[in-house]
Structure 1
């Protein structure tokens, strides 16, 4: 009976232990009149976090405001002649000049690459005792390039520059494919590609000269018409 009473008392006290809030060093009074002291028990701390408001999110930082003030002061110090300078037009002109320089650099790089490739093909042909393939391949390449130019202009009617670009890509592809053939076929096709590319570059040069001549003539006509209107 005594063991049963002790078990009952323990079972009666155990639920109470989960309902009691213990504080460090504070005595706790149980319903039965018993006191317990809780030492080195974890305590609970109440803390509050102040979240920023929406206005504070949209408020610019001090560094940004300081930089804006410096920029405004510098703008006030700048002379009016500098402010009135056409910076947008100067930017457009500089971009056009850089584009022209890039085109010239690309053009001469491709020409140098083509020259080195042609010289290597000639040396390879001589080393293989296939010297007769050199003039034959160049002649066939020039004929094929002229034929493709005339045919492309009749079929599509596009500008000559676009047609020459397509023909040049075709001969570059022929030069790449020639590496998969045997010695004789490789030598012949490589010189055909070289002849075609030479003809394309010659036609391109003639086209640029024609365009420059037309531009000069049109500019002269515009200047003459402007002078006549000014006199009238």
Structure 2
């Protein structure tokens, strides 16, 4: 009699466990994501119309532009003091190691590398010649700055050559930026040709 009761108890426990497993969701992540999506949809549907028609994307773009302008302003005012301070530190290290006479060599190499990369970028894309923002020069400046700042962590000869090569490249890039903003921005030749083609012809009556 006891064995029958134990068997029935085990059977009932197994059936209860199966029912609980059947009632559990198969993928909790999917259900949670669908629940979040449904909640967001219901909230959006109950949102007043003025909030729906508000130009959120335009406001976000203006906010991002404001943040970028502030960051660029801070970088512009701090770049020269930081550059001068780090350059003096690097020169003092070379003087301490009695390698001060080697500074012009990596400096000239950096100047040449920046010029070669600038010309290669202009040859690879004709739109850069007439772009309002010289993104290729900004990318070069950022790359050489990232190459310069880990200077104390380079090996011995790396601490002597790499920072000064980056200094030469940074100064050449800054000079190219200065020349870029000084030159008059001309429209592309294709646009000029298209404007001439689209303009109506005037018949000269003699």
In terms of fraction of residues, the more helix-rich structure is: 2
By relative contact order (CA 8 Å, sep 6+), the higher-ranking structure is 2
Q: Between Structure 1 and Structure 2, whose CA radius of gyration is higher?
A: 1
What is the TM-score when the length of structure 2 is the normalising length? Answer: 0.50
What is the TM-score when the length of structure 1 is the normalising length? Answer: 0.45
